């Protein structure tokens, strides 16, 4: 039931990390995969159709939607995300704006546009990438935490309207994954030890461990799942 042969998936932030792993996993499940990245065409993951797009630019997003006019996107994975670290009292406004543009505005705009086409066809899957910080405030990342909390409720909001129309909208909430976004944490022995002490699994997650549940949510095996925010966190939320 997880065979995606004949379907087309679009994955944002597919150049590296979790996005590249998701794109690869969907490809391996049989889907044709379009990978979106700011400069992904320079070095695309193997077997992925690359399309460059700066998701912080609304005009660029409009251009991407227009370029996809003749293609039926069956699966949309809103994975692209950025993080800016600074104390809340000193957090730059421009950092807040940059994070919201990529982490929240882009998923809304793409889901609204590409999801409307799914509604016309009567089927489709949207999977958003939330975070364990969808459920808590985090430290030094007010914009990131706020954007990911909003993604969780955006997922539920779309699902409330689209579940009866053949379109599944769900999210995954990764825990601490060894990627570029967490490089600073991995390089800080004290902070890393504090984090790993809270993870029952006791280690950093791998990007491939996030990709597998995305394939499940993109498949017919998840046909009755709507508005879920699935934690893939090594047990972080349980503790």
Q: Which residues are catalytic?
A: 144
209 burial via Cβ count (<10 Å: 0-12, 13-18, 19+): middle
Give backbone dihedrals phi and psi of 33, rounded to 5 degrees, phi first.
-120, 125
Question: What are the residues whose beta carbons fall under 8 Å from the beta carbon of 31, sequence distance 6 or more?
Answer: 4, 5, 7, 8, 9, 74, 75, 218
Cα–Cα distances (Å) from 73 to 83, 116, 120, 125, in that order, read 28, 11, 12, 9
Can you spell out the DSSP letters for 105-136? Answer: IHHHHHHHHHHHHHHHHT-EEEEEE--GGGSS
Are 83 and 51 in contact by the 8 Å Cβ rule? The answer is no
Are 163 and 119 in contact by the 8 Å Cβ rule? The answer is no
């Amino acid at each position: 039931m997880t065979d995606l042969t004949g379907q087309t998936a679009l994955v944002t932030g597919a150049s590296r990390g979790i996005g590249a792993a998701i794109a690869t996993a969907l490809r391996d499940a049989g889907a044709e995969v379009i990978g979106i990245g700011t400069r992904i065409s320079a070095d695309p993951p193997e077997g992925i159709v690359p399309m460059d797009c700066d998701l912080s630019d609304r005009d660029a997003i409009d251009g991407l939607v227009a370029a996809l006019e003749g293609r039926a996107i069956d699966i949309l994975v809103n994975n692209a995300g950025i993080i800016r670290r600074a104390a809340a009292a000193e957090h730059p406004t421009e950092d807040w704006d940059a994070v919201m543009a990529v982490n929240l505005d882009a998923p809304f705009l793409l889901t609204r546009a590409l999801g409307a086409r799914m509604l016309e066809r009567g089927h489709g899957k949207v999977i958003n990438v939330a975070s364990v910080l969808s459920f808590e405030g985090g430290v030094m990342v007010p914009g990131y935490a706020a954007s990911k909390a909003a993604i969780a409720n955006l997922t539920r909001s779309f699902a409330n309207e689209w579940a009866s129309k053949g379109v599944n909208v769900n999210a995954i909430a990764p825990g601490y994954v060894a990627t570029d976004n967490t490089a600073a944490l991995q390089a800080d022995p004290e902070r890393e030890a504090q984090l790993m002490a809270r993870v029952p699994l006791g280690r950093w997650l791998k990007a491939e461990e996030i990709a597998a549940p995305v394939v499940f949510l993109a498949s017919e095996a998840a046909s009755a799942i709507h508005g879920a925010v699935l934690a893939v966190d090594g047990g972080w939320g349980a503790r």
